[in-house]
Amino acid sequence: MPGPRSRIRPPRVMLGAVSAEPTAESKPRVLVIDDESTIRAALRRFFKRRDWIFDEAEDGARGLEKLLAPGADYTAIISDLRMPGMSGMALHDELARQRPELLDRLVFSTGDVASKDAAEFVQRTRCIILEKPFELSTLGETLERIRAATPPSP
């Protein structure tokens, strides 16, 4: 029992140190690059339900612009392999030159792995390839592996 001069000090509590809701800065970000608006719309719904920040591009050139923009920090990038203009394969090669660290975050979705150039690309890339149609659960598992391997933003 404390004496007359003893004081019991409650532990210090820092208010605001823990937030129940993730901030926009802490949410994962994805860039979906696909020329088909219906696929972008379906993936937008998929990511919104999972509380990801969603961004999109309609072709490889626009996707590359976004990926090279100052401050661009995507947790994952999902790209179609075949698109008019800059294809996913050309996007891959440009990223390999300019931002090779992003290749570990890049996932390709394609319905064509049989053509000669697509088959050669699949053989030479280390990126994940999801053949269309794929299960959204497979995409979810793939994204969790990428998130686990992606270092947090500074």
Task: Choose among 64, 127, 125: nearest CA to 99.
Answer: 64
Tell me, yes or no, whether 21 lies in a domain. no
Tell me, yes or no, whether 18 lies in a domain. no
Domain hosting 41: range is 29-149
Q: 16 or 128, which is more confident?
A: 128
Kindly state the DSSP code that residue 29 receives in the 8-state scheme: E
Kindly state the DSSP code that residue 11 receives in the 8-state scheme: P
Tell me, yes or no, whether 138 lies in a domain. yes
pLDDT at 19: 42
- The number of domains in the chain is 1
What are 83's two structure tokens?
């698109």
Residue range 14-40: mean pLDDT, rounded: 74
Tell me, yes or no, whether 112 lies in a domain. yes
Tell me, yes or no, whether 13 lies in a domain. no
Residue 152 has pLDDT above 70, yes or no: no
CATH number of 72's domain? 3.40.50.2300
